[in-house]
Structure formats: C-alpha cells, structure tokens
Amino acid sequence: MPATDNQGSFLNRISIRRNQVTTMDNNHDQELEDLELFQKHVADRFSDLLPTTTTTAAAVDPSAAAADSPNSTHDVHIPPPPPPLLSISWFRNLLDAFLCCEAEFKAVLVSGRDASLFSKPPLDRLISELLERALKALDVCNAVTHGVELLRQWQKLAQIAVAGLQQSPIGEGQIRRAKKALTTLLTSMVTDDTNFGRRGTAAAANNKDRNFRSLSWSVAKSWSAAKQIQAMSANLVAPRGGESNGLAVPVYIMSTILVFVMWSLVAAIPCQERNGLGPHFQIPRQLGWAQPMIGLQEKIGEEWKKKEKKGTTGLLEEMQRMEKVAQSLVEFSDSFVFPLEEEKAAELAVQVSELAEICQKMEEGLGPLQQQVREVFHRIVRSRAEVLEVVEQVNKLSIPVPY
C-alpha cells in the first residue's frame, strides 16, 4: 500500500506539472498571437495614413469603371481619396490611429499577463522609460493645444481680409483693411520659434489690431518643443536577442508611436522653440510594422527641410496654403489701382475664394482637432496611472514580510 500511495502521489505531481507546462505554453502562444496581431494592426493603421501615389482609371473616370463592371446598371462606390498629408483631416486620422493603437497596446501588455514581469528586466526599465515619455508627451499636447489657438487667431485675421476683399465694388478702404489683417497674419507666421507668441503679439500691438491676441503659456519660457522630442527619442532602442520575442516589443512599438505622433504635431503646428527639431528620428528599417511609419517620416522630413529654409512656423497644409495666398494678396494690394480692371478683378476673386475655402476648412476642423489633442492628453494620463498602479502593486508584493 505505501508503495502504491507513493506511486500515485508521484503520478499526481507529474500530472500537475504537465498541466502547468501546458498552461504556460498556451499563455506563450497567446502572447505571440496577440503581439503579431498588434504589429499587423499598427502597420495597417499607418499604411492608411500614407498618401496615395497612383491614381486608377476608375478614380479619374468613375463612368469607365461602371461600364466595365458586369453590374454596370448599379452605382459604383468609389472610396473618397485620403486627406492631404499634414492637413487638419490627416492629423485627425493620425490621432485616431494613436488612440486605437494605445488601447490595443494596453490590452496586450496587461490583459492575462503575469504582472510580476513588470518588476523584472527588461520590462522594468522599458516601462519606466515609457512612463517618462508619457509625461513629456503631456507637455507637447499642452503646447500643441496653444498652437491650435494661435491658428484660430490667424484664421480670424484671414477672414477679416476675405470679408473686405469680397465687397463689390471694392475700394481703397477695403484694400487697406484687408492688407492690414494680412500683414499682421504674415508677420506672426514668420516669427522665429524662440520668440513664438511674443513677436506676434508685438506685431499686433504695433498694428493696433484688437482681433489678434497673445496666448498665455502654461510652460516656462525656456521650454523647448524640439528638446522635448529629442528627450523622448533619446533611449528609443529596439529590443534585441531574447527581448525581441516578449513584451518588450509592444512597449517599444508604443514608445515609437508616441514619439512619432508628437514629432509630427510639433513639425506641423506652431510650438514654442522648435529650433533643432530633426527631420526624423531613428526607426530600424528591418521592422515590418514600422515600414509605413518610416515612409511617412521621410515625406514629413522632406517638407520640414523645405520649410525650415523659409523660417515659417509649421507644416500644416492649410497653414502653408494660407501663407502663400496671403502673400499674393498683399502684393496685389500694393499695386491696387481704382477702378479695378476686369482681368485683375477676376484674378482677385479666385485668390479670395481660395482663402475663404481655407478659412472654412480651419473653421470646421480646428475645434475637433483641438478636442482630439485633449482626448489624447487625458488618455495618456489615464493609461499612465493604470500602469503605475500595476507596478506599485507588484512592488508591494515583492517586499518580504517581516516576522
């Protein structure tokens, strides 16, 4: 009997051990599956943000596609083209992609995972660095929110010009009013980043324009958007060796997404002190999920290099168009002669119509964009608090109980 009992006990232990190994294998398989899906979803979301480089015949002529279709009697659904790179609509899509990636990342990192891993290398260090990047990202969100407010002020100045130049017949009074608003707008746009928000205010004061107001910053005057992005990307290193198959990978991916989104916002929207902002940060090219992000980074970097030479305040597509049209209208006002010739009047109408269109897009898009930036801010705050709570609980459990 004793021998039989021992044998049964031994077999039970083997069975329990086998179940434990099976559970660990299943958890590992699930972790790999979750990680693979996360990487695929990241790649898909950022691929959707890439501008299209080719145009199909169906996109040019929908009737041609309908004629070739066996169901040509039915309407053919042509998907709308993606918004222009660095436009307000594009940034809204980018922030949507960030929020989706962030929610999935949190599920991959926390759901069903052994929380004790958070206190072990390399996750302890990587999570700590991610939490620090999150803090810096909050400052960038704050700066971008103020930058959007400045864009709204520029929009109001442009609308003043549009209202004056749409008068018929147009006279010298309307031209002077429009030129005054546009000059203030352009003066603010070309201000260097070191004096962001201050030289624009001085220009408005010199012009006695009550429609232009300075922004009150909640960051120090020495704060630099460029240095903040540099600090966020300083320790951004892809996992190597054994780390490349574990939870270190999603932490690295989310850190890269966070830096990319903040870098893009700073490059496009007026922010305090952007001197030294690089046209890119390093992302390893061998990573499959990173290819669309690298493509976007290269395109944005090309635009940044072009605009950096001109010293203007950002890459936002609507802002670049507004600057170009405003400069042309100021030149027109300098050569204005009353009464206006018919050809000149037609040329003026085209430019004023374009400026009005830009103002309309900004009117419709800036509010929702600013709301999304705030949503990103609050999401980062909540997620950071949730991860910190897990880390603190793990640390408490690891403290030995005194007897």
**Percent of the chain at pLDDT exceeding 90:** 54
Annotated domain spans of the chain: 86-398
pLDDT, position 194: 44
pLDDT exceeds cutoff 80 at 343: yes
Mean of pLDDT values over 274-296: 91
pLDDT, position 353: 97
pLDDT, position 267: 94
Q: Where is mean pLDDT largest: 111-125, 142-156, 229-243? A: 142-156
* Mean pLDDT for the chain overall: 82
pLDDT, position 27: 64
pLDDT exceeds cutoff 90 at 297: yes
Mean of pLDDT values over 201-224: 51
Half-sphere exposure of 227 (CA within 13 A, CB side): 7
Mean of pLDDT values over 279-294: 92
Selected residue with higher pLDDT from 356 and 28:
356
Mean of pLDDT values over 102-125: 86
Selected residue with higher pLDDT from 238 and 401:
238
Indicate the range of 67-71, 126-130, 377-381 predicted with least confidence: 67-71
Is residue 134 within 8 Å of 258, Cβ to Cβ? yes
pLDDT, position 63: 47
pLDDT, one tens digit per residue, over 158-197 is 999 999 999 888 889 999 999 999 999 999 887 644 455 4
pLDDT exceeds cutoff 60 at 101: yes
> Model confidence at 306, in pLDDT bands (50, 70, 90)?
confident
pLDDT, one tens digit per residue, over 15-58 is 444 444 444 455 667 778 889 999 999 999 999 999 985 433 33
pLDDT exceeds cutoff 90 at 2: no
Is residue 90 within 8 Å of 83, Cβ to Cβ? yes
> Model confidence at 286, in pLDDT bands (50, 70, 90)?
very high
pLDDT, position 396: 75
Mean of pLDDT values over 363-383: 97
pLDDT, position 259: 97
Selected residue with higher pLDDT from 275 and 319:
319
Indicate the range of 12-26, 152-166, 249-263, 312-326 predicted with least confidence: 12-26
pLDDT, position 279: 82
